[in-house]
Amino acid sequence: MTTNQIYSEIKKKGSMLCVGLDTDYTKIPDCVKDGRSVTEAVLEFNRRIIDATAPHCVAFKPNLAFYEYLGKDGLEVLEKTVAHIRDNHPGQFIIADAKRGDIGNTARMYAKSLFETFDFDAVTLSPYMGSETVTPFLDYPGRYAIVVALSSNPTSYDFQNALNEGKPLYQSVMEKMMEISTPENMMFVVGATKADKFKEIRTFCPDNFLLVPGVGAQGGSAEEVIAGGANSKGGLLINSSRGVIYASAGDDFAEAAAKAASRTALATI
């Protein structure tokens, strides 16, 4: 998918929302659990959440931890979830939230796994081991590495503000990754809880899409993020997971998710 195609979806839907599929069996409503195995219930929940929220979002982001802990059957649910989106909602951008990051030899296998075996459009990566860990993901036209720069969580500043060649580490990470990539194969994670940083980040990174976790459950504001971070192509994918998919624990969970999605990350550009 090109960034122009993503932008065209954003304009069509009036939304920059990415729905995070952090599906936890213990939080699935009883009406979905009844008569189903754990993995059947997770898949059915995902299908109904996807169908209900797709008119209000431009991307879905399964969080791999929530599938891997179910073992091999969990990976089957992951495959079927991606296939359900591809078959029924072809304009959606599908992100593997995986935070992988390993030496070149291993990174090539992760790229093969996430782009070929599982058919994701993009994957989140951790930059700690340097640019070599990202390059194998850049060789797939229309697919994206999404490198964590400044995360949304409480301990993000433990290390992300270290000084590298005179610059904050998150900036140094972004600049070094921009040297080896283009906005057509590279995006960055910048957390919504750092809303005050978006204007500054746009001075050295005007063009790349930013994936923005941290609205909703983590306390970030979509409005502030859009005010500081939007660019002429949209430029933002604003993620909400728990705030959308667990909007109701009752029989109305899918409608409630649709309503929550329709209120989040509205884009007027």
DSSP one-letter code for 27: G
Closest approach, Cβ 215 to its own copies, in A, equals 14
Q: Is 31 or 103 the residue whose CB approaches its own copies more closely?
A: 103
Active site residue 259: no
Maximum CA pair distance of the chain?
59
**Residue 28: both structure tokens together:** 């699935």
Q: Is 132 or 223 the residue whose CB approaches its own copies more closely?
A: 132
Q: Is 100 or 197 the residue whose CB approaches its own copies more closely?
A: 100
Closest approach, Cβ 43 to its own copies, in A, equals 13
**Residue 21: both structure tokens together:** 């599929």
The count of C-alpha atoms lying within 13 angstroms of the C-alpha of 3, restricted to the half-sphere facing its C-beta, is: 19
Nearest to 41 by CA among 2, 9, 80: 80
Give residue 142's Cα distance to chain centre.
16
Q: Is 31 or 83 the residue whose CB approaches its own copies more closely?
A: 83
Nearest to 161 by CA among 153, 152, 171: 171
The answer to whether the Cα torsion of 101, 102, 104, 106 is positive or negative is negative
Determine which one of 11, 80, 99, 259 is catalytic.
99
The binding site for its own copies (CB under 8 A) comprises 22, 24, 63, 65-66, 68-76, 79, 97, 99-107, 109-110, 112-113, 116-118, 126-133, 148, 151-164, 169, 172-173, 176
Closest approach, Cβ 7 to its own copies, in A, equals 28
Closest approach, Cβ 180 to its own copies, in A, equals 10
CA distances from 35 to 44, 78, 183 (A): 12, 21, 46
Looking at the annotation, which residues are catalytic?
99
